[in-house]
Amino acid sequence: KPVRKPLIAGNWKMNLSHLEAIALVQKIAFSLKPQHYDAVDVTVLPAFTSIRSVQSLIDGDKLRLSYGAQDLSPHASGAYTGDVSGPMLAKLGCSFVTVGHSERRQYHEESDELVNRKLRAALTCGMTPILCVGEGIDVREAGDHVEHCSTQLSEGLSGLSEEQVDQVVLAYEPIWAIGTGKVATPADAQEVCRALRSALSERHGADLANRTRILYGGSVKANNAGDLLAQPDLDGALVGGASLDATEFAGICVAAA
Ligand code: PEP
């Protein structure tokens, strides 16, 4: 396995007040030791309303965690009531932002074209987009999962320069595994992650493909993370439910270390 530092990202979704957010970050930080941070990048993705508090805590206590956002506007500023822009998030010190999460695609009707614009917006202000792709159960049962995810990948990265693609983190998140407790088998996750890497390799060369981090997401827990992350093309996890529990989340980080 080429040296790609694993990344464990906690997607808190629409959970936790800013006070609860601080308490969770403190517990996670307390559970991890220097050797874990040396071996794994750990990031949390709070709701917008908690980012400022998380920033103050992490900066003030010099914690070795980073943080990011779950969404951003494709626009930099202007008359877009209720939206939050990339420059606002970058100014708050956000390192990462997820784009193309299945919940955004489903509940906000986000198209591949919009996902692509959001991804570009993130790159423009220096944040690392985590581009999420993944198939629903019907596509998986029809055996079209690899093709489906490869299409989402190429649409998401459409028109990007090589330098830009080099900044992107990918996440394979089968929709049937998200929040269901039905984790993909390590072999199923590996199949798609490997296909994503070879698609990158074909388009942008083996060096770029070998540097790119590809995460798996979907019911990852401390007790299944080790087997998943042992797969050659899995470089970390995007964690939903289990990221709200400090012990579980830290357990996943330790399994990745
Ligand atoms: C997610 O929504 O990114 C996710 C992986 O959720 P869960 O871990 O709860 O399946």
Q: Residue 219 falls within a domain, yes or no?
A: yes
Whole-number average pLDDT of the chain: 97
Q: How far is the CA of 230 from the centre of ligand 1 (A)?
A: 19
Range of the domain at 69: 7-256
> Half-sphere exposure of 136 toward its Cβ, with a 13 Å CA cutoff?
5
Contacts by 200-207, CB closer than 8 A, 24 or more apart: 200/153, 200/165, 203/154, 203/165, 204/162, 204/165, 204/166, 205/162
Active centre residues (catalytic): 101, 173
| Ligand 1 atom with least separation from CA of 98 | 3
Q: Residue 39 falls within a domain, yes or no?
A: yes
* pLDDT band, very low/low/confident/very high, at 244 (cuts 50, 70, 90): very high
Cite the annotated binding site for substrate by residue number: 11-13, 179, 219, 240-241
Instruction: Tell me which residues have their CB closer than 6 angstroms to ligand 1.
Output: 11, 173, 178-179, 217-220, 238-242
Name the closest-CA residue to atom 8, ligand 1. 240
Segments in the chain forming alpha helices (H): 18-31, 34-39, 48-60, 86-91, 102-107, 112-124, 137-141, 145-156, 162-165, 186-204, 206-211, 222-229, 246-256
Please provide residue 48's backbone torsions phi and psi, each rounded to the nearest 5 degrees: -50, -40
Q: Residue 195 falls within a domain, yes or no?
A: yes
Q: How far is the CA of 219 from the centre of ligand 1 (A)?
A: 6
Residues 121/80, Cβ–Cβ less than 8 Å: no
pLDDT digits (tens, 9 = 90+) for 28-40: 999 999 999 999 9
Give CA torsion, residues 43, 103, 202, 119, to 10 deg: -70
Share of the chain above pLDDT 70, in %: 99
Q: Residue 27 falls within a domain, yes or no?
A: yes
Is residue 1 scored above 90 in pLDDT?
no
| Ligand 1 atom with least separation from CA of 177 | 10
Paired with 98 in beta bridges are 130
* pLDDT band, very low/low/confident/very high, at 3 (cuts 50, 70, 90): confident
| Ligand 1 atom with least separation from CA of 102 | 2
pLDDT digits (tens, 9 = 90+) for 113-154: 999 999 999 999 999 999 999 999 999 999 999 999 999 999
Q: Residue 110 falls within a domain, yes or no?
A: yes
pLDDT of residue 153: 98
Give Cα 195 distance to the centre of its chain.
18
* pLDDT band, very low/low/confident/very high, at 226 (cuts 50, 70, 90): very high
Please tell me the total count of domains within the chain: 1
Which of 8, 11, 12 most suits a substitution to test ligand 1, by most atoms within 8 Å of the C-beta? Answer: 11
Is residue 2 scored above 80 in pLDDT?
no
Mean pLDDT, to the nearest integer, of 41-47? 98
Share of the chain above pLDDT 90, in %: 99
Cite the annotated binding site by residue number: 11-13, 179, 219, 240-241
Q: What is the ipTM of this complex?
A: 0.98
pLDDT digits (tens, 9 = 90+) for 163-215: 999 999 999 999 999 999 999 999 999 999 999 999 999 999 999 999 999 99
Q: How far is residue 140's CA from residue 154's CA, in Å, rounded to a whole number?
A: 19
Q: How far is the CA of 71 from the centre of ligand 1 (A)?
A: 15
- CATH classification of the domain holding 91: 3.20.20.70
Question: Is beta strand 66-69 parallel, antiparallel or unpaired with respect to 128-133?
Answer: unpaired
The H-or-E segment that residue 133 falls in is: strand 128-133
Paired with 45 in beta bridges are 11
Is residue 88 scored above 90 in pLDDT?
yes
Q: Residue 207 falls within a domain, yes or no?
A: yes
Q: Residue 130 falls within a domain, yes or no?
A: yes
Q: How far is the CA of 186 from the centre of ligand 1 (A)?
A: 16
Q: Residue 1 falls within a domain, yes or no?
A: no
